[in-house]
Structure 1
Amino acid sequence: MRLPAFIRQAGRDRRGVTVTEFGLIAPTFLMLLLGVFDLGYTVYAKAILDGAVQKAGRDAALETGTMNIANLDSKVKENLGALAADATFTYTRRNYRDFAKVGLPEDFEDKNSNGQRDAGECFTDENANAVWDRDLGKVGVGGARDVVLYEVRMSYDRKFPLYALVGLPGEATLKSATVLRNQPYASQNAETKQVICT
């Protein structure tokens, strides 16, 4: 049985193949392109944020820096310029006696050896708040010779709609931190510790 002429001709006709191939490849290519743009934006914003946080941390470590904390925090946002136009910032500072204690929990007596502090187990209250803490740092910039952990979180709406297309949240958060010792403009405050059993 012989096929009609128009069917044989359609089988040999290559017009429109390019449009079909483009239609198959274009969505994948556009998603990849948007992903590259979003990644580039994120890397660039993180680099600028890291530099701004380092600068603000160094300035806060000076003797006069503790009087200008709000101004230093606003300079972090200012240094990001247009990147931070719609972003929200969260600033935290915790101070420690030395670098070895940064981020550590307060010591406690683990009577039942379960690796966590339970009610009734004694602990060393290093930040003088009468409560066991997972981070023994004190809130604020501290004093002379104290070590300060300065963290900044920047939350912003993503600039490219890639994540909305795949069902992920449209907000991103960048975090930057620096740990610096305050200048020795005076003697370091005496260490205050007490053992509490509750």
Structure 2
Amino acid sequence: MTRPSLTHSLRRFGDQDGTAITEFGLIAPIFLLLMLGALDLAHTLYMQGVLQGVVQKAARDSTLESGQEEGTQVAINQKIETQVKRLAANADVTISRRNFYSYTKAAQAVAEPYNDNNGNGICDGGEPFQDNNANGVRDADGGSAGQGGTQAAVVLTVDVQYPRFFPLDKMIGLSGKVHLSAKTVLTNQPYGQKPGEPVPVVRNCP
């Protein structure tokens, strides 16, 4: 039986080197994509956790008696933005407050009913609606804008949008921006007499 020559063995070894490089070239982009995806997901989950904590702290501060003051609410909003932008400097932060007569109404968030006479799905053209909270406008969630009064249930919502740190939008077609939202419901402290529940009024949509 003839043994393979040294030249033949070296040639086979060189062929295997080429195969390994080719395999690495095929695997490396996939590995890199998985690594970037994992980092992007980890950062998003961390941001969501931080955002939820910031919102809960802000809501507790807002429900104090001093939270009724416009200057206090502005200061709280600035704290929220500052903490978010420590992790995402280019973030756009939108903050909203909706108040309800009770926690139950806040949880239900039922739209005020109206008569859709023209069938277009919009309350317009003088169509009548039931203004349950007596604030003069039809509300899709039954609440009113702002912090509300004593013992009102307040829904604080913070929406955050910022560019992705890694170009996954170009690699796998994801959105170029991350969208996060955090919400919490708390009741204003009883710093005064709670007003009676508003009497529903029938009004017309503009």
Superposition TM-score, scaled by structure 2 size: 0.81
Aligned to 2:27: 25
Aligned to 1:82: 86
> Which residue of the other structure, out of 61, 64, 70, is the alignment partner of 2:63?
61
Aligned to 2:195: 189
Aligned to 1:48: 50
- Structure 1 residue 55, shift from structure 2 partner: 0.2
Aligned to 1:139: 145
Give secondary structure in 1 for the equivalent of 2:61.
helix
Distance 2:39 2:181 in 1: 20
Structure 1 residues 197, 75: CA separation in 2 closer, same or farther (over 3 Å shift)? closer
> Which residue of the other structure, out of 157, 163, 172, is the alignment partner of 2:163?
157
Distance 1:58 1:36 in 2: 33
In the alignment, structure 2 segments of 5+ residues that lack a partner are 1-6
8 Å contact from structure 1 (residues 59, 65) kept in 2 = yes
Deviations 1:76-124 (A, max 9, x none): 122335213211110000000012212221134689xxx9978776432
- Structure 1 residue 136, shift from structure 2 partner: 1.3
Give the aligned CA root-mean-square deviation in angstroms.
Answer: 2.8
- Structure 1 residue 169, shift from structure 2 partner: 2.5
8 Å contact from structure 1 (residues 77, 84) kept in 2 = no
Give secondary structure in 2 for the equivalent of 1:141.
coil
8 Å contact from structure 2 (residues 131, 203) kept in 1 = yes
Runs of 4+ residues deviating >4 angstroms: 9-12, 108-111, 115-122
Map 1:89-128 onto structure 2 (within 5 A): 89-102=93-106, 103-108=109-114, 122-128=128-134
Give secondary structure in 1 for the equivalent of 2:149.
coil
Structure 1 residues 17, 141: CA separation in 2 closer, same or farther (over 3 Å shift)? same
Give secondary structure in 2 for the equivalent of 1:64.
helix
Give secondary structure in 2 for the equivalent of 1:144.
coil
How many aligned positions are there?
192
In the alignment, structure 1 segments of 5+ residues that lack a partner are none
